[in-house]
Copies of this chain bind each other. A is one copy, B any other.
Amino acid sequence: MRHRLKDVAERAGVSVKTVSNVVNGYQHVRADTRARVEEAIAALNYRPNLSARNLRKGRTGVIALAVPELDIPYFAELARHVVTAAADHDWTVLIHQTGGGSEQERKAASGIGDHMIDGLILSPLALTSDDLAALHGLPVVLLGERVDNGPADHIMIDNVAAAREITAHLIGLGRRRIAAIGSQRTPEGASARLRLAGYTAALAGAGIAYDDRLVAPAPAWHRADGAAAMRHLLATGVRPDAVFCFNDTLALGALRALHEAGLRVPEDVAVAGFDDIEDGRFSIPTLTTVAPDKERIARLAVELLAGRLGPDRDSPPRELVTPHHLALRESAPL
């Protein structure tokens, strides 16, 4: 049922290698030979065995993208862009879901990496440089926060600046009791720490005192966590007049909780998020947010990986900061 080079060769009356040459587009094949071979390929519906080709070549044509959770819209959108960018290099993308645990991420790094993939684009939450070292030379591009001393290429946005800017925007609206939702103390919470730093920097810049009670932690960054954190803030009676949520799903949850509490957005409480996911453009109200250039991040990641697999094999690790902008919508308008 499934045919091999040998079958094609027999049918076309040539050697196995000649068929291989035709399949790989080698130049010096006589036109009539090529035609005979192609006829045989078509007749037998021959497809190369990629495992064998990979074994021989040491390349698989597959790269992996490992993200914490696929059904967080930010990662789903990112995944779409990575798949698109990878297609330009004729790569297939193996999308892997780590669950954000260090165990799973380690497995994504070492386990999957084994020999099935040529490179890895990893959006780590919990990974340490030790885990990374265990890759033993598999080219890796990291997205998001820095892994300390990691010897890998790295793409990020300036989280502190972005958080500072959007907090400053809320201050510019005249708000003074600005809450933050999404803080995390765990080692995984690198993004949370940076965004919190931007938040406090903006407050300090405007001469507003930092109030611990206005900062709500969130174990994960899902809608439910955002809603719970918002409810908690409202219940403690610290009446914020604005909220900066560390990502958009938190913000959507917060919108929901505010709605249930009968508060108007943005009149009573302005809300800002982070990530610019599709939902935020259709939510009620639409969501003001920090918009990273996801398409560019994905493209850069694929290109860095391509470099590592090609000429830049041994060049020093690169660190790229991609631009972002504020998307000002109804929840905290201009």
- A279 to B281, alpha carbons, bound, how many Å? 13
Q: Is the CB of A284 within 8 A of B284?
A: yes
Q: Which residue of B lies closest to A265 (CB)?
A: B284
Asked if A157 is at the interface (CB within 8 A of a chain B CB), the reply is no
Sample of 5 further A-B pairs with CB below 8 A, known A50-B115, A51-B52: A50-B116, A83-B96, A93-B95, A227-B282, A283-B284
A16-24, A70-78, A170-178, A210-218 - interface stretch: A70-78
Asked if A154 is at the interface (CB within 8 A of a chain B CB), the reply is no
Q: Which residue of B lies closest to A69 (CB)?
A: B80
Q: Is the CB of A253 within 8 A of B227?
A: no
- Inter-chain contacts of A60 with B (CB < 8 A): 51
Interface positions, chain A 239-285, Cβ under 8 Å from B, are 252-253, 255-256, 259, 278-279, 281-284
- Inter-chain contacts of A92 with B (CB < 8 A): 94, 96, 112, 116
Asked if A309 is at the interface (CB within 8 A of a chain B CB), the reply is no
- Inter-chain contacts of A284 with B (CB < 8 A): 255-256, 259, 283-284
Q: Is the CB of B73 within 8 A of A70?
A: no
- Inter-chain contacts of A255 with B (CB < 8 A): 282, 284
- Inter-chain contacts of A279 with B (CB < 8 A): 223, 252, 279
User: A127: shortest Cβ distance to chain B, in Å?
Assistant: 17
- A96 to B79, alpha carbons, bound, how many Å? 10
Q: Which residue of B lies closest to A279 (CB)?
A: B279
Q: Is the CB of B45 within 8 A of A55?
A: no
Contact of A252 (CB < 8 Å), options: B97, B256, B282: B282
Interface positions, chain A 69-109, Cβ under 8 Å from B, are 69-71, 73, 76-77, 79-80, 83, 92-97
- Inter-chain contacts of A2 with B (CB < 8 A): 136-137
Asked if A48 is at the interface (CB within 8 A of a chain B CB), the reply is yes
Q: Is the CB of A55 within 8 A of B51?
A: yes
Contact A79-B71, Cβ < 8 Å, known A92-B96, A134-B45: yes
